[in-house]
Amino acid sequence: MVAADDGEEGALPMQAAIISRTGTISVGEIPDPEPGLGQVVVRVRACGVCEVDLLIADGEFASASYPVVPGHEFSGEIVELGPAVPRHWRVGDRVAVDPALPCGHCAACRSNNATECGQRGAIGESVNGAFAEYVAVPAANCYRLPALMTWEQGAMTEPASRALMGVRRFGVVAGQRSLVVGANATGLLVLQAQRLSGIDVSIVDPDPGLLALAMDLGANPISTDIAEVSGGKFDVVIDCTGDPEGMEGAFDAVHTDGRLLLFGTPHAGARTQLSRVPFNEQEAGVNHSMAVLNNFGLAMGLIESGAIQTDPLLTHALPLEEFDEALMLISGGIGLKLQVLPDFEVLTAEQLTEFGGPDV
């Protein structure tokens, strides 16, 4: 049991958002999670919503195991320790959790390349995640939150680590030019991760308000129209929209020996027109990047130092009961980063207005 406050034994019910195989979403009661060997139970304080949750809800995410409680971008407080948890973890510790669950014993895992693990699962995809009051996770996946880091910042570690991974895969060097397509939450994290490498980052998005924020975060130049970004083709182009139009624009903008990263999350029905891509004239490399492995602690440090700013990206906080609404907002492209706060009801209005970011 995890409700340490009341001292009762047995699996008590908790609130959780559940997605069934049919794609139906409900918020209801399921038993409190029990910590397995090497696991801790985390009381969830903040959990970000992203396009992956939308794919899981739509039944379009191949590696999801239904029914599932989604939620893979989260922070919280350890409330129970399972057997064989290392002694440095204590009840009350504040943590963010790397959701990646590589098998740990296949050839890829043993050669420190768990991204290639064929049996790789993830919290919130193959096992229950954090759109719930409590979640059981391996202690090995927990990273201690720095003292001054908020729950909300802690929950941004996962998307920030993903952005870092994408950027690190390129091996970009100072002086190169990059274009980010889409000033959404992913695009603004990718922008900041690239700026750390000393490269010039342009960003394109139809929303002038988001472009202003992108400029504050280091983008230059910016444009509402990909055709109007000056200076010729780019060494690196990163599509963060997942839209066919964005991806085709990205194809057009990359230098013939440049690198293209498709970093958006296209829906199953998304189609791009490959005939627009002059493959025979190009040596451009095309990448996708998803894994957060080995970057989680680094991302947390960059958020702590302010080198990657996440507060301006947090536009919406919702209670768990409104998970459905959160998915609708994401699907409608409303806001930047939405987070579900299971303690929403007990937070003061003042705390909630601390959610910064532009009115988008």
| Chain residues that interact with Zn ion, rule: CB under 5 A | 50, 52, 73, 102-103, 106, 109, 117
> Measured from the CB of residue 58, what is the shortest distance to Zn ion in angstroms?
15
For residue 206, cis peptide bond before it (omega within 30 degrees of 0): no
C-alpha distances in angstroms, 44 versus 97, 134, 154, 256, 344? Answer: 10, 6, 11, 46, 11
- Peptide bond before residue 221 is cis, with ω within 30 degrees of 0: yes
Q: How many CB atoms sit inside 10 A of residue 153's CB?
A: 23
User: How open is the CA angle 279-280-283, to the nearest 5 degrees?
Assistant: 65
The residue (of 166 and 249) whose beta carbon lies closer to Zn ion is 166
Identity of the residue, 55 or 149, whose beta carbon is nearer to Zn ion in the bound complex: 55
CB of 162 to Zn ion, least distance (A): 7
The 3 state secondary structure assigned to 194-223 is HHCCCCEEEEECCCHHHHHHHHHCCCCCEE
Give the nearest distance from C-beta 102 to Zn ion in angstroms.
5
Smallest separation (angstroms) from Zn ion to the CB of 106:
3
CB nearer to Zn ion: pick between 122 and 145 = 122
Pairing mode of beta strands 337-340, 314-318: parallel
Residue 144, judged by CB atoms within 10 A of its CB (0-12, 13-18, 19+), counts as middle
Q: How far is the CB of 116 from Zn ion (least distance, A)?
A: 8
Cα-based distances in Å from 217 to 179, 181, 214, 220, 263: 14, 15, 5, 9, 19
Instruction: With residue 167 as reference, give the H or E element that holds it.
Output: helix 157-170
Q: Would you say 258 or 266 has its CB closer to Zn ion?
A: 266
Least Cβ distance, residue 55 to Zn ion (angstroms): 10
Our CB check for Zn ion shows the closer of 111 and 275 to be: 111
Pick between residue 18 and residue 114 the one whose CB is nearest to Zn ion. 114
How far does Cα 161 stand from its chain's mean position?
8
